[in-house]
Amino acid sequence: MKAAAAIERRAVSVTLRRRSAGAYDLDGRFIDGSETSEPIKAVIQPAGGNQLRDLPEGIRTEANWMIWSRSPIAVDDRIISSSVSYRVVYVWPRAEGGFFRAALGRETR
């Protein structure tokens, strides 16, 4: 629980954007799911060498940032912090600890 307490002390407000699953209409066209936004508290920091080595090889090139939060985070979520947009590219599975850790790739739009 020490990690969760540290996250709480250092966390800042960011925006979590999540897209719901899409569906096909009666004509067989795919309709994108709707996007929701919610504020969450998180810590975003540059990824270090050891953290990058823990990632699957194909994800290492995209992931340059790490996020820790007490809120659930999923792959392909978008995180907006100080007008910078990141995509969640990997989430470490955790059964304990009271926090979520994920790798982010900065989006260029």
pLDDT at 3: 62
Q: What residue spans of 17-81 are helical by DSSP H?
A: 49-53, 57-60
Contact 19, 75 (CB under 8 A): no
Q: What is the domain extent for residue 102? A: 2-20+30-106
Total number of domains constituting the chain: 1
Whether 84 and 108 have beta carbons less than 8 Å apart is answered as: no
106 strand-pairing partners: 86
Report yes or no on 16 lying in a domain: yes
pLDDT (0 to 100) of residue 109: 64
Residue numbers of the chain with a pLDDT score lower than 50: none
In a domain, 25, yes or no: no
pLDDT at res. 93: 77
pTM for this model (two decimals): 0.81
pLDDT digits (tens, 9 = 90+) for 24-54: 999 999 998 899 999 999 999 998 877 777 7
Give me the CATH number covering residue 55: 2.40.10
